[in-house]
């Protein structure tokens, strides 16, 4: 196999594919990118056997064939070449040579026949929606995903489809983030899938902020997302996601309305003197004031108060400042509401102007 193409035609697909390729692999070939050429059309494939990305580009001329090349080394070479450079790639036994101007590189290769096939089952359902909407749903929830939790079903993001309603839900057991959106001209049979953390982070990186159509293909044990020249696939997490509806506070008796930026700034200052591991802050609301207090093991203290609007009786509760700040950073309006029940077993954080996003933070004992 050999081909000639511009630096840019190699750089973009390599940048996209390299994200799914782990730096340290048990199988050496998984550190490589599979490059296939047919009729001057280049196809690049990268996988870690849990996530796969396939993208395409064009060659000016060449001879058909396929080979696997170290992905990051080839990417670094293309990145460092001058803009607009013409690149010649030629495969020889166990080696591939890359020529551009007066530069010449020789990279080791592995046979394409040894590249592991990604198991993609036949699609059972299909959904087309806006890339901007899907990215927004992920942006508002992915921060709440668990990281290497023994409850494996929390190490990902739930996509819940029910009729015309799309939900994205993530939780690590201490907090929950929920996004809801009614889809137009779509009627979908109820289906829930849990996409693993790495798949979500890579998909979020690849999705466009524009209203471009993307197609979701749901298989028995995987999901594929088609985005123009890109095809992204990920294995699904088996298991059942907890019923997030049961976590939603009912019989709300106390509602605190406050300025989001004022609350964020106060939390950030008070958190300076929290314990490093716990990051706990006590929150007290009474007579139109919110009082934030923190203390660390060295008995250093911080306190700040500011005006709020309170409906119902006063309250005192403790929270992890990181969880509160993550939720506040994903509220778009200038005002935010904190809702509590008499039991005080959770806090519902909402944007009063947009009910699509809901964030629940569990309190902590201080």
- Most confident range, picked from 24-28, 117-121, 214-218: 214-218
According to DSSP, the β-strands at 280-286 and 252-259 are: unpaired
According to DSSP, the β-strands at 252-259 and 335-341 are: antiparallel
146: helix, coil or strand? Answer: coil
pLDDT grade for 45, boundaries at 50, 70 and 90: very high
User: Token pair 């005006």 is at which residue?
Assistant: 307
Write down the domain spans for the chain: 2-114, 125-244, 248-361
Q: Output the CATH code of domain 248-361.
A: 3.10.150.10
Residue pLDDT, tens place only, 213-224: 999 999 999 999
* Separation of CA 113 from chain center: 32
pLDDT grade for 360, boundaries at 50, 70 and 90: very high
Check pLDDT > 80 for residue 247. Answer: yes
Nearest residue to 170 (alpha-carbon basis) of 157, 153, 187: 157
Cα separation, 356 vs 351, whole angstroms? 8
Q: Domain 2-114: what homologous superfamily?
A: DNA Polymerase III, subunit A, domain 2 (3.10.150.10)
The secondary structure of residue 73, as a DSSP letter, is H
Query: Could you check whether 2-114 and 248-361 share the same CATH topology?
Result: yes
Say if residue 252 is exposed, middle or buried (CB neighbours under 10 Å; 0-12, 13-18, 19+): middle
Check pLDDT > 90 for residue 35. Answer: yes
Residue pLDDT, tens place only, 76-100: 999 999 999 999 999 988 899 999 9
64 neighbors 37 (Cβ within 8 angstroms): yes
125-244 CATH fold:
DNA Polymerase III; Chain A, domain 2 (3.10.150)
Total Cβ atoms within 10 A of residue 113: 7
47 neighbors 116 (Cβ within 8 angstroms): yes
Residue-level pLDDT at 51: 95
50 neighbors 17 (Cβ within 8 angstroms): no
Check pLDDT > 90 for residue 26. Answer: no
153: helix, coil or strand? Answer: helix
Check pLDDT > 90 for residue 278. Answer: no
279: helix, coil or strand? Answer: coil
Cα separation, 363 vs 168, whole angstroms? 23
Instruction: Report the percentage of the chain scoring pLDDT > 70.
Output: 100
Residue-level pLDDT at 99: 95
Residue-level pLDDT at 188: 83
Task: Quote the pTM value.
Answer: 0.91
């Amino acid at each position: 196999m050999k081909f000639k193409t511009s630096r840019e035609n190699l750089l973009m697909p390599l940048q996209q594919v390299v994200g799914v390729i782990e730096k340290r692999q048990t199988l050496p070939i998984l550190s490589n990118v599979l490059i296939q050429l047919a009729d001057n059309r280049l196809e690049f494939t990268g996988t870690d056997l849990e996530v796969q990305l396939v993208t395409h580009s064009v060659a000016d001329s060449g001879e058909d064939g396929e080979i696997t090349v170290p992905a990051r080394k080839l990417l670094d070479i293309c990145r460092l070449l001058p803009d607009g450079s013409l690149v010649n790639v030629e495969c020889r036994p166990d080696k591939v040579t890359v020529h551009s101007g007066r530069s010449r590189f020789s990279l080791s290769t592995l046979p394409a026949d040894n590249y592991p096939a990604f198991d993609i089952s036949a699609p059972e359902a299909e959904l087309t929606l806006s890339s901007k909407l899907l990215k927004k749903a992920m942006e508002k929830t992915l921060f709440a995903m668990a990281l290497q939790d023994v409850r494996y079903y929390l190490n990902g993001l739930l996509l819940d489809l029910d009729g015309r309603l799309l939900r994205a839900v993530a939780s690590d057991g201490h907090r929950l983030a929920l996004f809801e959106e009614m889809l137009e001209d779509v009627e979908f049979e109820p289906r829930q899938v849990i996409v693993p953390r790495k798949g979500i982070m890579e998909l979020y990186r690849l999705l466009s902020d524009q209203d471009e159509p993307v197609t979701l293909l749901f298989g028995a044990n995987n999901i594929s997302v088609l985005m123009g020249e890109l095809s992204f696939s990920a294995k699904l997490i088996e298991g059942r996601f907890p019923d997030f509806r049961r976590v939603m506070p009912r019989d709300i008796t106390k509602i605190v309305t406050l300025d989001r930026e004022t609350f964020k700034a106060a939390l950030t200052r008070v958190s300076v003197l929290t314990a490093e591991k716990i990051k706990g802050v006590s929150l007290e609301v009474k007579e139109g004031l919110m009082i934030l207090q923190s203390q660390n093991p060295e008995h250093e203290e911080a306190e700040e108060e500011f005006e709020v609007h309170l409906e119902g009786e006063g309250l005192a509760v403790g929270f992890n400042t990181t969880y509160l700040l993550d939720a506040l950073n994903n509220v778009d309006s200038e005002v935010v509401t904190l809702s509590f029940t008499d039991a005080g077993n959770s806090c519902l954080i909402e944007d009063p102007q947009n009910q699509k996003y809901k964030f629940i933070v569990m309190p902590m004992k201080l």
